[in-house]
Amino acid sequence: MIRNGLIAATAFLLLSPVAATAAGYGAAGCGLGSEVMGSEPGAKQVLAATTNGTSGNQTFGITSGTSNCGDHGLISLNKEREVFAQQNYTSLVKEMAQGKGETLSTLANLYQCPGSTHQEFGAMTQSKFDQLVSNDQVTSTELLAKLENQINSNPKLAKSCNIQVSSLN
C-alpha cells in the first residue's frame, strides 16, 4: 500500500506541469479556460481543463499562438510558416508569380494578415517576385526571410500583418 502511494506521488510530481506555471497558465494549460479561470491551483484548474477540452480552443490556441498560448506552445507561428513553405514550396512559388491562390492566401493567414489585405499581399509577391525568388536555388527558408523583409517594407502590410521576430533572419 505504502509502495503504491509512493509510486503515485512520484508520478504526480514528475508529470505535473511545472513549466505551465512559469508560462502564465495553470495545470490545465493554455486556452480559454486559463484566461477565464486563471492560474490558481485547485478546483479552478478542473474547470479550466473542462472549458479547454469541450470547446476545442486549446488546440487552436496552441497552433495559432492565441488564448494565452504564445510562442512557448508546441508550434510557434514561425515554425508553422517554415514547415508550410517547405511542404508547399512549388505551389507557393507559382502562386507568388501569379499574385493569387489558395496556398498564397494561407501563407498570408500564417502571417496573420487580415483577409482585406490578401489581395495586397498577393500583388506585393507578384511585383517583388524576382527579388523573392532570385534563382532556382532559393530555399523555402530564404524565401520566407526575403518575404518578411518585403512585408516590412510595405507600409500597409507592415501595419496590418504580424511579423514576429523570426529565427529565419
Last residue of a domain, one of 14, 33, 64: 64
Q: How far is CA 27 from the centre of its chain?
A: 21
Give the pLDDT confidence score for residue 137 in this predicted structure.
92
**Is 138 a domain residue?**
yes
Kindly state whether residues 83 and 125 are assigned to the same domain: yes
Kindly state whether residues 58 and 85 are assigned to the same domain: no
**Is 143 a domain residue?**
yes
Using CA atoms, how far apart are residues 22 and 2, in angstroms rounded to an integer?
32
Grid coordinates belonging to 145: 526571410
Kindly state whether residues 145 and 88 are assigned to the same domain: yes
Its domain, for residue 109, covers: 77-160
Kindly state whether residues 86 and 155 are assigned to the same domain: yes
**Is 167 a domain residue?**
no
Kindly state whether residues 60 and 81 are assigned to the same domain: no
**Is 70 a domain residue?**
no
Give the pLDDT confidence score for residue 158 in this predicted structure.
93
Closest CA to 62 of 87, 32, 37: 32
Give the pLDDT confidence score for residue 12 in this predicted structure.
46
Q: Supply the pTM of this predicted model.
A: 0.56
pLDDT in tens, the chain (169 residues): 666 655 654 544 444 444 344 445 565 567 756 666 666 676 767 766 666 666 666 666 655 556 566 655 445 778 889 999 999 999 999 999 999 999 999 999 999 999 999 999 999 999 999 999 999 899 999 999 999 999 999 999 999 998 764 444 4
Instruction: Name the domain count of the chain.
Output: 2
**Is 50 a domain residue?**
yes
